[in-house]
Amino acid sequence: MCFSPYVSLSMAIFEFIIATLILLFFRRSIINNFFAVFIYVLGFYQFTEFMLCSTSYPVLWAKLGFITYTFLPAIGLHSVIAFTKKKYNLFWIYILPVLFALFALFKPDFILQSECHSCLVIVRSYFFNPQNIVSSIIYFLLYYFGFIALTFFVIIKNYKRQKSKIVKKIAILMLIAIVISLLPAVILLMIFPSLGILFPSMYCEFAVLFSIIAIIVAVLDKKESRAKK
């Protein structure tokens, strides 16, 4: 959590505003749509933390928070593949996160711990339990780390074949954006809590950096569009 429930709420509102401004004031393109959707998802995650601490349904909001960051790798991979203009099948990109989401929604004891303290949120789920090692491996290695690695591969491969300097810059910024949005999620929201390491989450700061990169990319995308005319 961002140090307090109301800071989480403020961050959610900030991210919703940034995403909306990108859609309103920059051209609708694959790259801009990706960043807008990603920021909306990040904002909704901050909102789930606020609701977890502010309502009488912490387990429900903990589940929704899990589902929210579970879709991030799929959205990232989907976006970079679309950016490269390669053919792809959405079924194979989203089947795993959809199955994880359904499992989280309908398994009664999916959330093992859900607590809100003065400056942090503690959430442990089924996949972060040493007793469920096989499920954890599937979730972490096959899905989360696997999709991150595949996303890196697609971006780097596309970077090498691009001739436009602006498009190369956008590819690098996409890589940086994926790093600061997905890897901290693994470390701060999954690994550390499962190990019992408690601290105020710095994920808000990463979300702000992601929003800044999104604005820079939107400006570069607009510049690239003008250069083609």
- Residue 147 is classified by DSSP as H
- 3 state DSSP class of 213: helix
Q: At what angle do helices 165-184 and 203-228 cross, to 10 degrees?
A: 160
pLDDT given for residue 119 in this prediction: 64
- Residue 197 is classified by DSSP as -
**Whole-angstrom Cα distance, residue 131 to residue 121?**
23
What Cα–Cα distance (Å) separates residue 206 from each residue in 117, 185, 219?
A: 21, 9, 20
User: Do the bridges between strand 111-116 and strand 121-125 make them parallel or antiparallel, or are there none, so unpaired?
Assistant: antiparallel
Residue at 64: amino acid letter: L
pLDDT given for residue 17 in this prediction: 95
pLDDT given for residue 199 in this prediction: 45
pLDDT digits (tens, 9 = 90+) for 72-122: 899 989 988 988 888 888 899 999 999 999 999 999 889 988 877 666 677
pTM value is 0.86
Closest listed residue to residue 177, CA positions, set 218, 224, 142, 139? 218
pLDDT given for residue 106 in this prediction: 92
Residue at 14: amino acid letter: F
pLDDT given for residue 190 in this prediction: 57
* Residue ranges of the chain with per-residue pLDDT less than 50: 197-200
pLDDT digits (tens, 9 = 90+) for 3-18: 567 778 888 999 999 9
Place of tokens 């990603």: 38
Q: What are the residue ranges spanned by the domains of the chain?
A: 5-223
- Which fold does the domain 5-223 belong to in CATH? Rhopdopsin 7-helix transmembrane proteins (1.20.1070)
Containing 115, the helix (H) or strand (E) segment is strand 111-116
pLDDT given for residue 210 in this prediction: 84
Residue at 163: amino acid letter: K
Q: Is 199 left (phi over 0), alpha (psi -120 to 50) or beta?
A: beta
Instruction: Tell me phi and psi for residue 28, to 5 degrees.
Output: -80, 110
